[in-house]
């Protein structure tokens, strides 16, 4: 399923003011950017517009400010990093709407780039307020949405402005939809999905959407213990999503040929980075211990399935990868992806953070920039920020 929307290639952008919604929601520590992946991912669209003589007005949210100015959520560090990456000055304007911003935009020359201040300093952004969307749109003559990470949200800067201006997709959105769409519509087989993370209920819709399509569904992480419990195993103090027990039982009855669960687990007496750990078979978890990672036999089992796959989608770590003692399982999955000859897609969120942390990000086919957006896409939901764009 290729993207069926117009893209930035279809624009006559020379001399035009173009509002570009990017996803610059990057992690900050003491005001410094700790991971600039999302900024780098936006460069192809920005550079294309600059090359074609557009006047580029970038906008984004950052963090969760409470609908008012918050210095800790300012996009100033992003403007600095963008200036370095683009090799030209990208001034941060003091606001995202208003007379001062309108005046600054009016002074722009062809090929200039400016960045508006955090759109979420206005509560109207997340409410998709029509007047706020109109104010944003009034700055420009064309609109490009390249923020895949927020495409599942109908906000003023992602959906509202598209009703006021000719609206197209940027290269990042095109790439995301083409990779994820191709995997769902026409995957090279075997098609394997790996689901991890904490709770089954967070993944029910995506599991329901994927199970009929995949050849194998590999389940790890906190989710696995609810499946074990549904089979009657003792899971000790491991994560349990009690409301999903019946669901897990039903899945195992219906799809026992497709679902692959861990066979051994690394357990510890408490949820601590330095807790002493041991490996047990899945029917050997003591009542006072909890599972925090998959064991070595499971690592080998999962890796074998992944290496034989034609297409792999991975969403969610298989252990507490933030702690070295419980990272081996997640590392083994990431490594197996790089050894697969197939198309390997990492579905944003914690899985993306893991492949980045362990140095595998550039060795997989595609790392999605959108955790929630990629999940909703895999669930088969329409993404409002993309629906609102002009059809090709």
Residue 391 lies in a domain: no
Here the tokens at position 137 are 């749109």
Using CB atoms within 10 Å of the CB of residue 44, give its burial: 0 to 12 exposed, 13 to 18 middle, 19+ buried.
middle
**What is the rounded CA–CA span in Å between residue 298 and residue 333?**
10
Let me know whether 218 and 333 are in one domain. Answer: yes
Let me know whether 160 and 219 are in one domain. Answer: no
Share of the chain above pLDDT 70, in %: 100
Let me know whether 66 and 86 are in one domain. Answer: yes
Let me know whether 259 and 356 are in one domain. Answer: yes
Residue 186: phi, psi to the nearest 5? -150, 60
For the chain, counts of helices (H) and of strands (E): 14, 16
Let me know whether 138 and 49 are in one domain. Answer: yes
322's CB contacts (< 8 A; 6+ apart) are: none
Let me know whether 336 and 230 are in one domain. Answer: yes
- CATH code assigned at 338: 3.40.50.1260
Residue 389 lies in a domain: no
321's CB contacts (< 8 A; 6+ apart) are: 327, 329, 330, 331, 350, 354, 357
**What is the rounded CA–CA span in Å between residue 385 and residue 363?**
29
Residue 43 lies in a domain: yes
Residues spanned by the domain of 237: 179-378
Residue 1 lies in a domain: no
Let me know whether 370 and 228 are in one domain. Answer: yes
Specify the number of domains making up the chain: 2
Let me know whether 150 and 214 are in one domain. Answer: no
Residue 237 lies in a domain: yes
* Residues 12-56 pLDDT 10s: 999 999 999 999 999 999 999 998 989 999 999 999 999 999 999
Neighbours of 88 (CB within 10 A): 12
Here the tokens at position 118 are 């955090």
Window from 109-118, 196-205, 234-243 with minimum mean pLDDT: 196-205
Q: Which pLDDT score, from 0 to 100, does residue 200 have?
A: 86
Residue with tokens 């994560």: 239
* Residues 340-364 pLDDT 10s: 999 999 987 889 989 999 999 999 9
Residue 38 lies in a domain: yes
Window from 196-205, 211-220, 314-323, 326-335 with minimum mean pLDDT: 196-205
Residue 381: phi, psi to the nearest 5? -85, 150
Question: What average pLDDT is seen over the chain?
Answer: 95
Q: Which pLDDT score, from 0 to 100, does residue 199 have?
A: 84
Residue with tokens 């279809």: 10
**What is the rounded CA–CA span in Å between residue 106 and residue 38?**
28
Domain boundary among 129, 148, 172: 172
Here the tokens at position 391 are 């059809």
Let me know whether 138 and 213 are in one domain. Answer: no
Neighbours of 181 (CB within 10 A): 15
* Residues 187-226 pLDDT 10s: 999 999 999 988 888 888 899 999 999 999 999 999 999 9
| Buried/exposed 284-312: b ≥16 CB within 10 Å, e otherwise | ebeeebbbbbbbeebbebbbebbbbbebb
Residue 387 lies in a domain: no
**What is the rounded CA–CA span in Å between residue 265 and residue 351?**
20
Here the tokens at position 255 are 């799809």
Domain boundary among 119, 147, 172: 172
Taking only Cα atoms into account, the Rg of the chain, rounded to an integer number of angstroms, comes to 23
CA-to-CA dists, residue 191 to 62, 144, 179, 310, 352, angstroms: 35, 33, 14, 6, 20
Residue 28 lies in a domain: yes
* Residues 368-378 pLDDT 10s: 988 889 989 98
Stated pTM of the model: 0.90
**What is the rounded CA–CA span in Å between residue 12 and residue 196?**
44
Q: Which pLDDT score, from 0 to 100, does residue 1 have?
A: 61
Let me know whether 224 and 273 are in one domain. Answer: yes
Let me know whether 216 and 357 are in one domain. Answer: yes
Quote the strand ranges of 125-182, DSSP E. Answer: 142-145, 167-169
Closest CA to 180 of 22, 365, 377, 384: 377
Please identify every residue annotated as catalytic. Answer: 38, 199, 349, 372
Q: Which pLDDT score, from 0 to 100, does residue 371 have?
A: 82
Let me know whether 19 and 68 are in one domain. Answer: yes
Domain boundary among 172, 194, 215: 172
What letter does residue 188 receive in the DSSP assignment?
P
């Amino acid at each position: 399923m290729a993207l069926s929307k117009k893209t930035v290639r279809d624009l006559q952008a020379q001399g035009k003011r173009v509002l570009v919604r990017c996803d610059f929601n990057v992690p900050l520590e003491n005001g410094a950017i700790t991971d600039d992946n999302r900024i780098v991912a936006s460069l192809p669209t920005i550079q294309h517009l600059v090359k074609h003589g557009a006047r580029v007005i970038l906008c984004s949210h950052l963090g969760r400010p409470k609908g008012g100015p918050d210095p800790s959520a300012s996009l100033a560090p992003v403007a600095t990093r963008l200036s370095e990456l683009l090799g030209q000055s990208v001034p941060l304007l003091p606001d995202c709407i208003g007379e001062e911003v309108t005046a600054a935009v009016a002074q722009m020359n062809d090929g200039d780039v400016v960045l508006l201040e955090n759109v979420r300093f206005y509560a109207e952004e997340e409410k998709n307020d029509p007047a706020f969307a109109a104010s944003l749109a009034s700055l420009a003559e064309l609109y490009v949405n390249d923020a895949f990470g927020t495409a599942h949200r109908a906000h003023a800067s992602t959906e509202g402005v598209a009703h006021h201006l000719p609206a197209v997709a940027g290269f990042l959105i095109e790439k995301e939809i083409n990779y994820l769409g191709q995997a769902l519509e026409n995957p090279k087989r075997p098609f394997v999905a790996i689901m991890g993370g904490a709770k089954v209920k967070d993944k029910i819709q995506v599991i329901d959407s994927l199970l009929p399509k995949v050849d194998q569904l590999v389940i790890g992480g906190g989710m696995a213990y609810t499946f074990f419990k549904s089979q009657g195993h003792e899971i000790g103090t491991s994560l349990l999503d009690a409301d999903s027990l019946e669901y897990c039982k039903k899945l195992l009855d219906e799809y026992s040929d497709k679902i692959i669960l861990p066979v051994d687990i690394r357990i510890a007496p408490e949820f601590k980075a330095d807790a002493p750990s041991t490996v047990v078979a899945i029917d050997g978890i003591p009542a006072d211990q909890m599972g925090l990672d998959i064991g070595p036999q499971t690592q080998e089992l999962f890796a074998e399935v992944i290496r034989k796959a034609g297409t792999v989608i991975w969403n969610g770590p298989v252990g507490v990868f933030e702690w070295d003692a419980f990272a081996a399982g997640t590392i083994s999955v990431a490594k197996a992806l790089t050894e697969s000859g197939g198309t390997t897609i990492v579905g944003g969120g914690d899985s993306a953070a893991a492949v980045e942390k362990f140095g595998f990000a550039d060795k997989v086919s595609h790392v999605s920039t959108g955790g929630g957006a990629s999940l909703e896409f895999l669930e088969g939901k329409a993404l409002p920020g993309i629906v609102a764009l002009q059809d090709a």
